[in-house]
Structure 1
């Protein structure tokens, strides 16, 4: 259980995850609000504006999940160097390590 808590804490405080998952999405949201919306005409119906906003939310969710997924895979690749020593010289099993990574990733998303 300590591994899951450790990995979850590391994922939530990782600057790459925060930067790409949150700040990069704020950049795209500002781009959609201020730059891309200038091409919309002012005499359109309210449904057009709702569809435009919902499509940008969909794009932001897709980009957010993909960037967080890339950050998580980078963290996993960085951690794999010590796995043979961890499994050989400690009481941890491979199942516990994979379970810890899975739980931390699910909690983060």
Structure 2
């Protein structure tokens, strides 16, 4: 457990993560609670959906920012990983599993913080108590999100080493960029069944469903006719499929780092 705890501690204490994943998202939530909320109709259902959508958006933005730090860390380590795998007892599978476990700890901590943050800010703004109605689903979402984003970050870090070190900064920023694109696309566009295809939308909509205690709509932009509810089972299944795919690819890339000396990596 030493390596997973090291990963979790290293990530949680990273200044970049603390600013973008915690402070910045907190400021965004403050604006959502006390500025944007003025336009919400004073209808309990509308207020509940509004708060739930902010919870889902906060989760996806926080995770996207946090796991950019992990992608940076993996990208930085890839140059020494071949030596680590060759001359120590650690295998690529052990490295990947350690990163995943450490990331799950991070995702649960961040998810719990966002849960209490949304509860405190929006309950104060609307003078009504807003609590997630399905805590097991919320924490299942935190766990699956940690697994997905960690394997995705390892994939990006290994990919940048394998094919283009010059683009490593761009590769590592992809979680951050995608989180903000898809996080706000749910709020301002009708995604429909596309929520089942995109893993980031899966995370966001599952988080919304956990706060609502029922199926979240597939989009918020179209009010009439009402949007159909997104199936939690399909969302979870889609996210698990993505996890399996990205994990397999990440494992292959890590093993190819093991098979190639560091010097050979310069040729690719």
TM-score, normalising length from structure 2? 0.36
1:16 maps to 16
* Structure ranking higher on relative contact order (CA contacts 8 Å, 6+ apart): 1
Q: Distance in 2 between matches of 1:18 and 1:105?
A: 15
Q: 1:34 to 1:97 in 2, by over 3 A?
A: same
Q: Distance in 1 between matches of 2:3 and 2:53?
A: 38
1:69 maps to 67
Which is richer in helix?
1
> For the Cα contact (< 8 Å) 2:40–2:46, is it kept in 1?
no
Structure 1 unmatched runs, 5+ = none
Structure 2 unmatched runs, 5+ = 108-268
1:27 maps to 27
Q: 1:80 to 1:38 in 2, by over 3 A?
A: same
- Size of the aligned set, in residue pairs, is 107
Match of 2:77 among 76, 79, 103: 79
Q: What are the equivalent positions in structure 2 for 1:25-64 lying under 5 Å apart?
A: 25-40=25-40, 44-64=42-62
TM-score, normalising length from structure 1? 0.80
CA RMSD of aligned residues (A): 1.9
Q: CA deviation at 1:103?
A: 1.2
